[in-house]
Amino acid sequence: MSKVETQAQPSQPVKLRPGNIQLDPQGKLRHFLAIEGLPKTVLTQILDTAEIFTASEEKKFELLKGHTIANLFFEPSTRTRTTFELAAKRLSADVLNINISASSSSKGETLLDMLRNLEAMHVDMFVVRHGSSGAAHFIANHVPPHVSVLNAGDGSHEHPTQAMLDMFTIRQHKPDFPSLRVAIVGDLMHSRVARSQIHALNTLGVGELRVIAPKTLLPAGIEKMGVQVYQDIDAGIKDVDVIIMLRLQRERMHGAFIPSEQEYFKLYGMTETRLALAKPDVIIMHPGPINRGVEMDSAVADGNHSVILQQVSNGITVRMAAMAMAMRNPDGSSAS
């Protein structure tokens, strides 16, 4: 060790990590990994762009012609993958669907090796679903400047396109976010959808945001995310404009987090009687697929307050908007 190193050094700790990898230097959407960290202008732009696609008579656009999008699904998914595929095709992109089961990815090929291989095939955008939180961030940190990454759900972290299609659906019915009182009900502990919704609703300036669940399904410190916490659903949904029910995974129903689905439905299930506590024009949402009789009655799921099927249709145009905005040219500049 020579003592040449004894010189003035930068003050510490040196920040090796970029500030916001989701935005390019012009402030445009670069990767879509999480709602957290995106400004209101970008979220509004996604909604406005989706609006244009929705309002258009055309079904197909040539915006992403010549671009290749790879759907990289490390977790099984039917609906999300299908809507991403449909969105890509409506933008005239070439689509590659790659389903990687846990067993094949554990055969030694690392995630980075797999990405390098796909990049060599000139993929321009990765749509990623992965069971580990932070997977989309990890991939975004390792792709070249002309490749962008869309998070289609990472662990219990975020599912930003799902949240944006929910915002789009809310805006169709109730466009004035500051006047809204919104309640999210159910398994917030494990839900990536809920985290994205919380960030989106707060960024869009919702008037009041409540979360409702037993303590076993609430993550530690959730009150620091800008929500009011309720354990009692009847108090929690009083006078709300929007109710978002979360899906409860089967494996969490039998004694691990709640004693039984019967008791859960009794305490947190949405019924017509309960719904009457909310505002008369309340809308009820669910990211699907619904466990009927666990999260809500069929009468509510299929009733006139439900906007669940609209959420599904909106999923396509919102994903088209995100894809069109994040796509890059070969030189790394925004393609939109």
Pair of tokens at residue 216: 């076993």
Alpha-carbon distance 221 to 197, whole Å?
17
103 binds another protein (CB under 8 A): no
Question: Is the N-terminal amide bond of 214 cis, ω within 30° of 0?
Answer: no
Please report, as residue ranges, which positions from 210 to 269 form the binding site for another protein (by CB under 8 A). 219-222, 224-225
DSSP state of 128: E
Least distance from C-beta 281 to another protein, angstroms? 32
17 vs 59 by CB, closer to another protein: 17
Q: In sequence order, what DSSP letters do the residues of 79-118 get, joined into one string?
A: HHHHHHHHHHHHTT-EEEEEE--HHHHTTS--HHHHHHHH
75 binds another protein (CB under 8 A): no
Q: Which stretch binds another protein (CB under 8 A): 93-101, 135-143, 238-246, 284-292?
A: 135-143
Least distance from C-beta 239 to another protein, angstroms? 27
Catalytic residue selected from 49, 80, 161, 317: 80
- CA dihedral sign, ordered 24, 30, 36, 38: positive
Percent of the chain that is helix, strand, coil (3-state, to 5):
40, 15, 45
Say if CB 46 and CB 325 are below 8 A apart: yes
Least distance from C-beta 80 to another protein, angstroms? 17
Q: Judge whether 169 counts as a catalytic residue.
A: no
Helix or strand (DSSP H, E) at 272? helix 272-275
21 vs 98 by CB, closer to another protein: 21
Catalytic residue selected from 79, 116, 122, 250: 79
- Count other Cβ atoms within 10 Å, centred on residue 251: 8
Pair of tokens at residue 293: 């009789």
Least distance from C-beta 164 to another protein, angstroms? 18
* DSSP 3-state of 265: helix
* DSSP 3-state of 226: coil
144 binds another protein (CB under 8 A): no
1 binds another protein (CB under 8 A): yes
Q: Judge whether 107 counts as a catalytic residue.
A: yes
161 vs 306 by CB, closer to another protein: 161
Among 31, 130, 286, 319, binds another protein (CB under 8 A): 130
99 binds another protein (CB under 8 A): no
Q: Which stretch binds another protein (CB under 8 A): 56-64, 155-163, 304-312, 320-328?
A: 155-163
Alpha-carbon distance 25 to 18, whole Å?
11
Interaction site with another protein (CB under 8 A) = 1-3, 5-7, 9-17, 21, 36, 110-112, 130, 132-135, 137-138, 154-158, 192, 195, 219-222, 224-225
Residues with a known catalytic role: 79-80, 107, 129, 159
